[in-house]
Amino acid sequence: MNRPGLISSPGSHENQPKTTIADCSLAPSATSILCAIGAKHSLVGVTKWCTDVAPVGKLPKLGDCWHGGSVGEILRLKPTLVVGSVPYKQETVGKLLEQPFPFLAMNPRTLADIETDIRLLGGIAQRADAAEALVKKMRCAFAQIEIKTRRCKTRVCVYCEAWPNPRISSPPWVAELVSICGGEMVVPAGEKSPMRRYRRPAPT
């Protein structure tokens, strides 16, 4: 899975006729985006991890795209859409695809992909204008950080890990953020080789 798939956005204008939306989010990133664009009301269930990134309150807490034990709970919530993101386990995705609800699988690789995901969720939730505003806010914040880091004479060496066993470094969008903050990834994004194979780069 490379880009969001399995469903498409219903449109990009908020003045469309309103439809009932009931989302189950199996990804903290999707939950955070929906809350940030003012679409929290569309959520009927989230993962237990979402409480760390978004004000989900007492919404039912479910599993994620790795642990597939919540399919029955998801069905009882009668969602019109289930949203997931990496990491995926093949067996869990298989169970989700067997169900009657649409499943949106996201796998952003770059910051541009994340912007696309924000716009996609904004279209689905009929909050396209708010989604575009969020993208602009992010770009502005990153630009301000980048201006500050240009004053630094040396770049900080950073190790970011997406998975411990086998050891996998974080994806390209993390490397982009590290670069914006004035850092340099010790291990290339998505690299599966052991950490010990890499030496600290010389300061530039």
* Tens digits of residue pLDDT in 174-199: 999 999 999 999 888 877 755 554 45
pLDDT score of 46: 96
Closest CA relative to residue 84, chosen from 56, 60, 64: 64
Q: What is the dihedral of CA 109, 110, 113, 118, to 10 degrees?
A: 110
Closest CA relative to residue 89, chosen from 66, 71, 69: 66
Distance CA 17, CA 30 (A): 23
Distance CA 110, CA 91 (A): 26
Mean pLDDT (whole number) for 120-124: 96
Dig out the tokens for 106 from the structure: 């996201």
pLDDT score of 2: 45
pLDDT score of 155: 87
